[in-house]
Amino acid sequence: MLIRTPQGWACRPSEITPEGVYLSRRQFLGAGAAGLLAAGVPALAEETALYDAPPAAEAPAWFAEKHPGIRWAAVVPEGEPVTPFAAATRYNNFYEFGQDKGDPARHAGALVTEPWTVRIDGEVGKPGVYELAELVRPHALEERIYRLRCVEAWSMVIPWLGFSLGELLKRAEPTGNARYVAFTTVMQPEAMPALRSRLSLIDWPYREGLRIDEAMHPLTILAVGMYGRVLPNQNGAPLRLVVPWKYGFKSIKSIVAIHLTEQQPYTTWQALAPREYGFYANVNPEVDHPRWSQKRERRLPGTLLRSNLRDTLPFNGYAEAVAPLYAGMDLRRFY
């Protein structure tokens, strides 16, 4: 008999909203709003509306094959309500489309995501250029409820749909010299306004990296969807990294290249502002950003009446699972 012990970070079945309850969410929300009014607290219609997702986008054939019956899955971990779909897709950092949090949703529709290929090379036994479907088909897609924490002191809880980066890297057969994994974002100047701007300070393309043991960790995934549907362009379509114990800028979007190397790779924000953004970027409330504190965070969405402030958790709440990766390291120096 196979007995599977769940990881501490995994969502338990008792924490999953039953489908019937989810499908009746509008009545539930309406009743909640009525209760607030009865209690003398103003009901915020615009916040309630955030819980309704638009009609599901048509999925590519390979996506539907791996995840039949695609729908928005409402999974709520204990004490961690999932961020509304609209908030998660309208408040983003994707600087290729602009610096304002709403710019990605406004401009990313021009991004061409089909066909899509990813180059895997460097210290691997099986380098190659692969169609996205080739990368995804051998893997079972899983829904993972992960917190996303940004250095600007805001956070979300998002149900990602993806597969293990580590399992993909094993297929490429890393050599004994592979100590780091470097990632590169697509460059589409015709779709990305910042790439055409002479005022941009970023050395495009956007690049990020992980240590090999971080990349192989079971928490690290490559996401192809969120909320049970195809990943929206502004959230990194069609393939993005998700490393939940690190600040959001480490989870690079719209990946076109994965390079295994012996040397620590160049990363965009570390090169642009090394005092503010280190290579590791582990969520650490004891290490302040030079321009603001990291001890507290604002969980989105928030309102004037409910700011949703809370204490920042070490490693974004995943310390039990990932702290051993950094045993003996000075996390103030290696920030």
Q: Which helix (H) or strand (E) holds 209?
A: strand 207-211
pLDDT, tens digit, 9 for 90 and up, residues 111-148? 999 999 999 999 999 999 999 999 999 998 888 999 99
pLDDT band for position 229 (cuts 50, 70, 90): confident
| Residue 227: per-residue pLDDT | 85
Cis amide prior to 174 (ω within 30 degrees): no
Domains identified in the chain and CATH numbers: 60-326 (3.90.420.10)
The mean pLDDT value for 243-268 works out to 98
Residue 41 CA neighbour count, 13 Å, CB half: 12
CA 141 from centre of chain:
15
- 99: its two tokens: 């610096």
Q: Tokens in use for 320?
A: 């039990």
Helices (H), 61-187: 61-66, 85-90, 103-107, 132-136, 165-172
Give, in order, the Cα–Cα distances in Å from 135 to each of 52, 120, 211, 236, 239.
Answer: 31, 10, 21, 16, 10
pLDDT band at 285 (very low <50, low <70, confident <90, very high): very high
Rounded distance, CA 53 to CA 85, Å?
6
pLDDT value, residue 302? 80
Distance CA 292, CA 285 (A): 11
The per-residue pLDDT for 30 is 35
Q: In angstroms, what CA-CA distances link 100 with 90, 92, 104, 235, 245?
A: 11, 8, 8, 14, 24
pLDDT at 161: 92
290-318 residue pLDDT tens: 999 999 999 998 877 778 899 999 999 99
111: Cβ contacts below 8 Å, ≥ 6 apart: 186, 188, 191, 192, 233, 237, 254
On the question of pLDDT at 26 being above 60, the answer is: no
Of 10-24, 45-59, 166-180, the least confident: 10-24
pTM of the complete model beyond 0.85 = no
CA 214 to the chain's CA centroid: 15
Mean pLDDT in residue range 70-86: 66
Q: 212-225: b or e for each residue (b if 16 or more CB lie within 10 Å)?
A: bebbbbebbbbbbb
d(CA 48, CA 51): 6
